[in-house]
Amino acid sequence: MSQTLSVAIVRRTALIVTGIFLYLFVTSHLVNLILGLISVELMDAARPWLSGMWSGPFTRNILMMSLMIHFFLALYSLYLRNTLRVSTYDAVQLGCGILIIPLLAPHVTGIAATEQLGAPTSYIYLLPYFWVDSPGDGLRQVILLTVVWLHGSIGIFTWLRAQEARRSILVVAYPVFVGVPILALLGYVEAGLQVIPQDMGGSGAALAQVEAVFESFSFPDDDVIASVVETKFFLDRMIVWGSLGLVALVLLLRYRRISLLPRDETVNVIYSDELPSTISAGSGLTLLELAREANLPHASLCQGRGRCGTCRVRILSSTSNLPAPQQLEQKTLSRFSCPKDVRLACQLAPGPGRLELERIVAPDYSDLEIHDAQARARQPEAAE
């Protein structure tokens, strides 16, 4: 096996690394919001440590770059997808991913505009804006938070679940996945209630501080504000339509790519294990995608990213052309020290013909631990 890293592995690794980085950023941002459960003052006090540290010139650039890399790599993955009939997790992640940039743009440009105007970006200054002056924007923030968190959590969740060694982390991760956004949203609501006047249904507890902030700060001329706001909205439109346009373009290209694929030749896949079944479909899809289109149960913890190896199948007999495993597949297979006739269903796209195989891990994962233990036992021998 050659030691040079294949493009697919690099892409996958880059996606997860940037993803984790962005997720950490979002998490610290949300932790800051959680403090709103106590008081707005505390939120602002902790801001330099939680949200603020990401807005330094250096970190900000890295963040932006990560976002761009993540976005474009994801677009490329979308382009490579053979079918859009994916699992629920993938579908939610994909949908949320498409929505993130349009929802995020006004927030980012808004913060930039606030800084440009010289106004503080503190919570005590911004919360009244979101809760009283422009509640529509406040709602958008909540949706953004939900969407971002869903997208990121699904990514991290599938990544953690994919490898047996990481699965133990999940115990810690579960409460984070659910607790952080809930507490953050509740903090956001609680902080909001403090800055909403009493006659509008809030408690108005922090109104005095709000007054103080507004008094301490003098707005620039109306002309300046108008131009800054205009630029912000222009940028918003650009980013929103630009990103959506990119997604549409990628989808179009993907459609064209798929329409060029030869799918008129049929492949017959025969599962002869505890759940015997037969698929007859056009070739060109991977085995996992075929199974999913035929609504056949198939184990796949990483949703077909070639990470987990739970989708591996043993080829019993085949008349169809089976492409040799790529490096990405080979890497996972060697982790389980699999013999030659074992392949990953999510990577193997059989050519036209007849294929008889059996799933190695039961679709309900009932024997997953046994297989993992066996793989562990074999590992030392393979290493020698």
Partner 1 sequence: MSMAKGNFAAFLLMFALVSVPAQAQFLPQSGESAETPAVPAPSPNDIKELNRLLADEGVQQWLRDAAKDEETLADETSQSPREIIEAGVARIGERASLMSQAVLMLPTLPSFLVEEWREGLTSAEKVRGATLLLIFIIVGAGLEWLYRQSVRLPLLRLEQTPSRGPMARVTSAGQRAALIFAGLGIFAAGSIGTFAAFEWPPLVRAMLLDLLAILLVFRALQTVSLFFLAPFAPALRLVPWTTGLARAVHRLLTVATAVILIFSVVYFFFDRIEELGQTAGEDMEVAMTSAALVLGLCQLAVVLVTIFAAGRILPRYLPVESNYDPRLWRRRQFILAIVSILAFAAWVLEISGLFWGLVIFGPLPLMLIAVRAWIDHFFNQATDAIMSQHQADFDVALEEFRQEVDKIEDEAERAAMVEPEMPHLPDPYPVARPILQRAVRFVLILCAIFSFAAIWGVNVFDPDASPLAWGLRVLFDSVVVLLLADLIWTWARSVIDKRLSDYRPPEDGSAPGPEARMITLLPLFRTSILVIVLSMVALTIMTSLGINIAPILAGAGILGIAIGFGTQSLVRDIVSGLFFLIDDAFRVGEYIEVGSLMGAVESISVRSMRIRHHRGKVHTVPYGELKSVTNHSRDWVIMKLEFRVPFETDLQLVKKLVKKVGAELKANDHYGPSILSTLKSQGVRRMEEFNMVVGVKFMTKPGEQWLVRRDAYQKVRDIFEANGIRMAERNVKVEIETDPSKLTEEEKHAIAAAAQEASQPPAGPPKPIPDEP
CB of 136 to partner 1, least distance (A): 5
Which amino acid, one-letter code, is at 155?
A: G
CB of 37 to partner 1, least distance (A): 12
CB of 109 to partner 1, least distance (A): 20
2, 238, 209, 256: which is closest to 106 by C-alpha? 238
- Supply φ then ψ for residue 147, to 5 degrees: -65, -45
Overall size of the chain counted in residues: 384
- Rounded CA-CA distance 47/14 in Å is 29
- Helix ranges restricted to H, the chain: 7-34, 40-50, 57-80, 88-116, 123-128, 135-162, 170-195, 207-216, 222-260, 287-293, 327-335, 368-383
- Interface ranges with partner 1 (CB under 8 A): 131-132, 135-136, 138-139, 142-143, 146, 174-175, 177-179, 181-182, 185-186, 189, 192, 196, 200-201, 274-275, 295, 297, 362-366
Q: Looking at beta carbons only, is 182 or 252 nearer to partner 1?
A: 182
Instruction: Give the CB-side neighbour count of residue 307, counting CA atoms within 13 A.
Output: 22
CB atoms within 10 A of CB 252: 11
CB of 371 to partner 1, least distance (A): 15
Encoding tokens for residue 222?
Answer: 């109306």
- Supply φ then ψ for residue 270, to 5 degrees: -115, 120
Q: Looking at beta carbons only, is 67 or 157 nearer to partner 1?
A: 157
Which amino acid, one-letter code, is at 172?
A: V
Q: Looking at beta carbons only, is 189 or 246 nearer to partner 1?
A: 189
Encoding tokens for residue 86?
Answer: 């994916």
Q: Looking at beta carbons only, is 189 or 205 nearer to partner 1?
A: 189
Q: Looking at beta carbons only, is 277 or 326 nearer to partner 1?
A: 277
CB of 53 to partner 1, least distance (A): 27
Instruction: Specify the pairing of strand 277-282 against strand 266-271.
Output: antiparallel
CB of 250 to partner 1, least distance (A): 29
CB of 290 to partner 1, least distance (A): 17
Q: Looking at beta carbons only, is 134 or 227 nearer to partner 1?
A: 134
Q: Looking at beta carbons only, is 234 or 365 nearer to partner 1?
A: 365
